[in-house]
Structure 1
Amino acid sequence: MNYWPLLGIAIVVAGFALRFNPLLVVVVAALATGVLAGLDLVSVIEALGSAFNDNRYISVTWIILPVIGLLERYGLQERARAVIESVRGATMAKLLTLYLLFRQLTAALGMKDIGGHPQAVRPLVAPMAEAAAVKSHGDIPEDERQKVLAMAAATDNVGLFFGEDIFFAIASILLIQGVFESAGYPLTPLQLSVWAIPTAICAFVIHGWRINALDRRIGRIAGSAKP
C-alpha cells in the first residue's frame, strides 16, 4: 500500500502550525497528495478546477456580505452587546458553551448553514461574548479581547466540524464511506454517523473546558489589573 499520499496531511498540520496562509497550505497539500498518488500535475489542477467550478460558494459570499454589512451599519453589533448586558448572570463561558451546544445539535440535524462566521459569529456571537466578558470582569486588555473574539470563531468551527458528521447524509460521511469501501470495508452512512457521536461528545467537553479556562484566565488578569 502506498502511504506517500498521506504526506498531504502532514503538510496541512505543519502549515497551520506555522501559521501560513490557509488557502495556500490546502492547495499545496492537495497538489502534493495528487502527485504522490500517481497523478500528473495537470490532472490534479484539472480536478481542483472542476471541484471549484461545481461548488461555486463564492457567489453565496457576495450575497451574504452586503446584507451583514448593512445590518452592522445600522447597529446590529451594538444591539447584540446591549442584549447581553441586560441579561442577569450572563458570562462569556455560559454564552459560548450554549452556542457550542446549539451549533453541534443543529449540525447533527443537517442544518449546518444555520450558523457560521459571516452570518452569526461576526455580527452576533463575537460581540455578545465580548460584552459578557466585560460585564463579568470589567475592562479587559486588548489582547484578551481579541482572544475572546477568536474563541467565538473557534467555537463555531468546533461545533460545526464535530456535529455535522452525526448527520448521515452529509458529504463528509459519504466521502468517508467511499474511502472505506474502496479499501474493502463496506459500511453504511448510518454506522459512520453513530460512531461520530462519541467524538462529538469529547469535542464538546474539551472545547467547553477551553472556553471556561479562558473565562477564568481573563478574570484573573482583570482582577490583578485593578488597583
Structure 2
Amino acid sequence: MNYWPLMGIALVVIGFALRFNPLLVVVGAAVATGLLAGLDPAQVVEALGKAFNDNRYISVTWIILPVIGLLERYGLQQRARAVIEGVRGATMGKLLVIYLGFRQITAALGMKDIGGHPQAVRPLVAPMAEAAAEKSHGSLAEDEREQVKAMAAATDNVGLFFGEDIFFAIASILLIQGVFESAGYPLTPLQLSVWAIPTAICAFIIHGWRITALDRGLGQRRRSTRA
C-alpha cells in the first residue's frame, strides 16, 4: 500500500500551523497528494477542475457577498445590535447556545448552508453577541470584543461540523461508508448517521460550556475592574 499520498495531510497541518494562506495550503496539498499518488500534472489539474465544476461553490459566493455587503452598508449590523439591546434578559451565552442548537439541528436536516460566516456570523450573530455582552457586562475592551467575535465564529463551525454528519446524505458520511466498506465493514449511511448523534450531543454540551464560561469570565473581569 502506498502511504505517500497521506503527506498531503501533513502539508495541510504544517501550512495552517505556520499561518500560510489557507487557499494556497489546500491547493498545494491537493496537488502534492495527486503527484504522490502517481498522477501526472495534467491529471491532477483535471481532477481539481472536475471537483470545482461539480461543486460550483464559488458561484454561490459571488451571489452572497454583494448582497451581504449591500445589507451591511445600509445598517444590517446596527439593526441586529438594536434588536438584541431591546430584548429583555438577553445574554451572549444564551444567544450563542441557541444559535449552536439551531445550527446543529438545521445541519442535521441537510440545511447546512442556512448559516455560515459570510451570510450569518459576520452580519448578524457576531454583532448580536457583542451587543448582548455589552448589555450584560458594560463596555468591552478590544481583546474581549475579539473573543466574542471568535466565539461566534467557532459556534457556527462546531454546530455545522457535528450536525451535518447526522444527515445521512452528506458527502462525509458517504466517504466514511466507503472507507469502512473497503476495510470489510459494510455499513449503511443511516447506521453511521445514528452513531453521529451522541458525538453531536457531546459537542453541544462541551461547546455550550465554553460559551457560558466566556460569558461568566467577562462578568468576572468587569467586577474585578470595578473593585
Most deviating of 118-127 and 6-15: 6-15
After TM superposition, the structure 1 stretch with the greater mean CA deviation from structure 2, 99-108 or 172-181, is 172-181
Query: CA RMSD of the aligned region, Å?
Result: 1.7
User: What's the offset of the Cα at 1:167?
Assistant: 0.3
**Matches for 1:137-216 after TM superposition, within 5 Å:** 137-216=137-216
The structural deviation recorded for 1:19 is 2.3
Cα distance between partner residues in 1 of 2:22 and 2:186: 33
TM-fit CA distance, 1:11: 2.5
Deviations 1:53-96 (A, max 9, x none): 22221111111122112222222111111111111221111111
User: Hey, what does 2:130 align to over in structure 1?
Assistant: 130
SS in 2 for 1:219: helix
In structure 1, what is the equivalent of residue 94 of structure 2? 94
Gaps of 5+ in 2: none
Structure 1 residue aligned with 2:84: 84
**May I ask how many residue pairs the two structures share in their alignment?**
227
Flag the 1:16–1:206 CA change in 2: closer, same or farther, 3 A. Answer: farther
The 2-side partners of 1:22 and 1:70 are apart by 26
Point out 4+ residue stretches in structure 1 off by more than 4 angstroms.
none
Partners of 1:162 and 1:144 in 2: how far apart? 27
Q: Which residue identity is paired with 2:199?
A: T
Classify the secondary structure of the residue corresponding to 1:23: helix
One-letter code aligned to 2:35: V
Tell me the CA shift for residue 193 of structure 1. 0.7
TM-score, normalised to structure 2, is 0.92
On the 8 A contact 1:7/1:33 being kept in 2, the answer is yes
1:153-187 per-position Cα deviation (integer Å, ceiling 9, x unaligned): 11111101110110001122112222322333322
TM-score, with normalisation over the residues of structure 1?
0.92
- Match of 2:150, SS state, is helix
Gaps of 5+ in 1: none
Deviation at 1:223, TM superposition (A): 2.8
Could you tell me how far apart the structure 1 residues matched to 2:82 and 2:221 are? 24
2:97 and 2:28 map into 1 onto residues whose CA distance is 35
- Alignment match, 2:53: 53
Question: Contact 1:15–1:22 (CA<8 Å) still a contact in 2?
Answer: yes
Q: Secondary structure at the match of 2:20?
A: coil
* Percent identical residues: 84
Question: CA 1:87 to 1:160, structure 2 compared with 1: closer, same or farther past 3 Å?
Answer: same
| Residue identity opposite 1:136 in structure 2 | S
8 Å CA contact retained: 1:121, 1:152: yes
